[in-house]
Structure 1
Amino acid sequence: MKLCETVENIWSMECWGFLSAVAAAWLLGLALSQTTLAPTLEPAVMNTTFSENMTATPMILSTTSPGCSALNTSTCEACVPGSYYDNDTLLCTCCPEPGLCLFAGACFPCSRGFYQPMAAQQQCLPCSQGFYTNFTGSPVCQSCPQGSYSNATASDSCRSCSPGFYASLQNSTLCRPCPQGSFCNSSSCAQCQICPAGTESLLAAAKDCTPCRPGMHKAARQKMCQICSSGFFQIRWGQESCNICPENNYCPSPDVNPIQCPSDAFCPEGSTAPGYCMETFFRKAGEDCELAPVTIALLVIGGGVALLFIILVVLRRRKDSDGELAQARAPLLRKERPQGRYYGMPCDAEPVYAGW
């Protein structure tokens, strides 16, 4: 069986050596066909001889090369951005300056994930984290779009953020989990959405939202469910607001139905517990409390006693005042006038006028 004619022989080292030699000879012939030989030199002659040994001896490829002097190196071109040159190839090493090859097709394009922004370079550069290039011969790397990331160098693609994660910036190196109160239910999210009214997400990196429990509510602008205020109730799941406790009912807990108010109690709108009148002294009358009969009797008796007490106090004070006044006037009434005479008459005698 001849060399490289069966599947088993194709994978042998002898077959691969034979194919490599044939490819090298074909490339060199292509280069010579596109160049002009020097006038003082004879055209290059390339002889290729194949010998086959039927006893599994490796194929031998012999090539006669004209050398660099046989090539017109004045036509060398610089490798354009996105490509590089290899000093180990005859098509580039024969040029007088580094970075030049006999023709542009002799330069090697950068592989996927690599780039080269400058001309006449010997190697390509790997794309940084957050960047990628998905084609060969790229002069630049592209930024990973929003909702994707790249955490490795030399990437030829970006990975999409998983549900529950997001990347709001370009060239991201990782995706962040959605915070509490928000969610993302698809891949490649650039932003997380706030949970709709009546729902919430208690954990980070949520893929969906859960409805608010009975006794709680959440408006659209809020992030988390809130407990209903006192005097309000809510017995359904996923509600945006709470209901106020109706009149003639009271609501001891926001997650239970309103309870009917007792007949002897008051329950205005928003009551958390029934209100009662003071026992014995007051009783309910419609929407108000009124005095009980026993309370009225006690008030009358108490008022009479208080009035009598006030009268006695006033009389006592008046009696005390009269006594004090009498004691103050007594010395004046008991004082005797001294005996005296005025013109031979006692001082207490009435004067008598006589005529002239």
Structure 2
Amino acid sequence: TCTSCASKTYATEYGQVSCKPCPPGYECTQSDQQPRACAQGFYRDGSMTSCQRCPSGMWTKNTTSVRCETCPVGYECPTTDSSPVPCRIGTYASKINTASCSTCSTGFFTVETRSIQCQRCPRGYYCPQPTSNPLACPPGTYSDYKQTVCTKCDSGYYAPN
């Protein structure tokens, strides 16, 4: 009698004496058909029955992947089937496997792509946008750290800078 192929194996020719193991990066959903490559964004190592989508924030380099790739800091991986995208100016990713870069908080900025953190707006400057360098407060005004505007000095006070 003939025996059916076990899970993760296949036999596509008549008269085979054994079943072939399904190679990693492919899935064998029907034992009488050729292995099917995992789609971009999916992977299958040898222990898995079928191709699985990569977790959010990870990606694959191509089809037939046996593992998901890490999305590096300073990048976002919005989809599992495309390469990491550098964080834009005014955004950052401080952790690996980030699906979407975060916008700098109010009073912080970064003027570089691929940032892993935002810089605090310094005292005596204001930062109206997270995408531009700090601007010096005009004479007669002041600011503390992390400000988006400068404040006018009260009567009887001055700011020399």
Q: TM-score range by the shorter chain?
A: 0.7 to 0.9
Identity rate, percent: 29
Equivalent of 2:44 in 157, 167, 170: 167
Structure 2 unmatched ranges of 5 or more: none
**Structure 1 residue aligned with 2:17:** 137
**Structure 1 residue aligned with 2:86:** 211
Cα separation, 1, equivalents of 2:53 and 2:106:
36
Q: Is the 8 A contact 1:165 1:177 kept in 2?
A: yes
**Structure 1 residue aligned with 2:104:** 228
Structure 1 unmatched ranges of 5 or more: 1-122, 288-356
Superposition pairs of residues 1-356 of structure 1, within 5 angstroms? 123-128=1-6, 130-133=8-11, 136-138=16-18, 141-155=19-33, 157-168=34-45, 170=47, 172-173=49-50, 175-203=51-79, 205-221=80-96, 223=98, 224-278=100-154, 281-284=155-158
SS at match of 1:282: coil
How many residues are treated as equivalent by the alignment? 158
Greater relative contact order (Cα < 8 A, sep 6+)? 2
Cα 1:211–1:273 change in 2 (3 A) is same
Amino acid at match of 1:137: V
Query: 1:274, CA displacement in angstroms?
Result: 0.7
Cα separation, 1, equivalents of 2:105 and 2:119:
10
Cα separation, 1, equivalents of 2:116 and 2:32:
50
Cα 1:137–1:236 change in 2 (3 A) is same
Cα separation, 2, equivalents of 1:132 and 1:153:
4
Q: Is the 8 A contact 1:148 1:172 kept in 2?
A: no
- What is the TM-score of this pair, normalised by structure 2? 0.80
Q: Is the 8 A contact 1:228 1:234 kept in 2?
A: yes
- Residue by residue, what CA displacement relative to the aligned partner does 1:267-302 show, whole Å, maximum 9, x if unpaired? 233322212223xx3321558xxxxxxxxxxxxxxx
Cα separation, 2, equivalents of 1:216 and 1:125:
58
Cα separation, 1, equivalents of 2:67 and 2:160:
59
- What is the TM-score of this pair, normalised by structure 1? 0.40
Q: Is the 8 A contact 1:144 1:170 kept in 2?
A: no
Q: Is the 8 A contact 1:182 1:200 kept in 2?
A: no
- Greater Rg by CA: 1
Tell me how large the CA RMSD over aligned residues is. 2.6
Query: 1:259, CA displacement in angstroms?
Result: 1.7
Cα separation, 1, equivalents of 2:46 and 2:151:
60
Amino acid at match of 1:237: T
Q: Is the 8 A contact 2:11 2:20 kept in 1?
A: yes
Amino acid at match of 2:101: C
SS at match of 1:206: coil
Cα separation, 1, equivalents of 2:66 and 2:94:
24
Query: 1:258, CA displacement in angstroms?
Result: 1.6
Cα 1:187–1:284 change in 2 (3 A) is same
Query: 1:166, CA displacement in angstroms?
Result: 0.9
